[in-house]
Chains A and B, each alone.
Chain A
Amino acid sequence: MTRAFKILTFQGSVLLAGILTMSVVADMAKAAPAPPAAAVTIGNFTFKAPVLTVKAGTTVTWTNGDDIPHTVVSKDGVFRSKVLDTGDHFSFTFAKAGQFGYFCSLHPHMTGTIIVKA
């Protein structure tokens, strides 16, 4: 957030100063909004948001709070984490709308779904 704020501030000053061309300003405006983020905690052998709905472009981060390792594996091969030991995390950015089922490949009764809306 701090970085995004700095970019915004910088962009504002750039606009006021009128030093850069419009095309450069347009590029910077695209980069300015903070990328949407969401979190899923793993605890007690469950994904603590079994169904999570996010906007396209959201980066979802899973963090393992168990003292047993887990993985986060897409049912359709879209994403696959390495093994997550205690405290480890894995992130994936959902660029497109859709429904993404996933599970833990060590404990496959652990399942979850990310619903991505455009």
Chain B
Amino acid sequence: MSEIEERRRDFLKCMAWAGTGALFAFNGGIGSSIGLDQALAAPLRRTTATPFTFVQLSDSHIGFNKPPNADARATFREAIAKVKALPIQPDFIIHTGDVSQLSRDEEFDDAEQMLKATGLPVFFVPGEHDMLDPDGGKAFLNRFGKGSKGAGWYSFDHKGVHFVALVNVADLKPGGMGNLGAEQLKWLAADLAGRPSSTPIVVFAHIPLWTVYADWGWGTDDAAEALKLLARFGSVTVLNGHIHQITQKVEGRIAFHTARSTAFPQPAPGTAPSPGPLKVPAEQLHSMLGITDAMFVRGHDRIALIDSTLTT
């Protein structure tokens, strides 16, 4: 094999693990998700109910250019190419934050242009990296948060499913973790009030809405108040990013799921001195190829999440 070919193969391997996204399918209120690569290989089976799908992309960190990824733009472009290649096109994309590395206009602009190539609507929530302009998040909101409230929260309905976009990266408190704040919680209570408990709910926010690892700030201080409001609903799916790895948990009728980044992986909780980028050696990339699948399975009234990786 020529050196160039080897480099190309390594590059593609890198793409395979970094250029990820998750595809979600709704079928009569039951959510399921599979990895994009798997979706490409095995199209979703049609059922009697009309399914719809959407894709979650997260933590694109456009502008990141350090080990283990010298070009986060390239890996994001790869993730988007996978979305475009899906045999069943999703109805829309959600981006769960850290669109940019440093909230620079050119970073936001590049992300926007790349996403436009899908021709799909995209719904955003900001990550803490999107709040770094001098006005503390206005650059993001002006571009991606039109019509949103407060720091960028909003909701919408799609084919019987209620989607709620929450912001937990604004006005963070010293010593704390993610934060929703009283104003947003009040809005959430009003937003959910009057909706039948049978309405499937999807909540998305950047930082996990449950405490994955407090020492690294991987949680949201006042998430419990939001979850209390969601507890009466029969099917709630919470989608987050921030930690650049798949984690899942089911609590009552609420299924939690975090997505991989399209830019770089982060260490598992407590396995490194800090949550900084996991500098994966090239020879270990192989074991991290592909993307992690997540499948939502509902049995009785409970939704469980089962994850698997493409390498297994």
Contact = CB atoms under 8 A, between A and B. Distances in A.
Interface of A: 43-46, 66-69, 71, 75, 82-83, 85-86, 101-103, 105-109, 111
B19 to A, nearest CB: 21
A40 to B, nearest CB: 16
B251 to A, nearest CB: 23
B252 interface: no
Contacts of A107: 128, 217
Contacts of A66: 274, 276
Q: Binding site of B, secondary structure by majority: helix, strand, loop or mixed?
A: loop
Contact of B217 (A69, A71, A102, A108): A108
Q: Considering the complex of A and B, which 8 residue pairs feature the smallest CB-CB distances, nearest first?
A: A44-B274, A103-B174, A109-B217, A108-B172, A45-B274, A83-B132, A106-B128, A44-B273
Nearest to B104: A83
A67 B66 contact: yes
A103 B214 CA distance: 16
Q: Binding site of A, secondary structure by majority: helix, strand, loop or mixed?
A: loop
B46 interface: no
Interface residues of B, number: 25
Contacts, number: 58
Contact of B176 (A68, A83, A86, A108): A108
Contacts of A103: 174-175
Contacts of A105: 128, 172
B173 interface: yes
B129 A69 contact: yes
B11 interface: no
B276 A108 contact: no
B208 to A, nearest CB: 14
Interface string B95-111: 00000011100000000
Contacts of A43: 274
Interface string B124-144: 000011011010000000000
B102 A108 contact: no
Contacts of B128: 105-107
A108 B132 contact: no
Nearest to B134: A82
B107 to A, nearest CB: 12
Given A69-B101, A107-B217, A109-B216, A44 B276 contact: yes
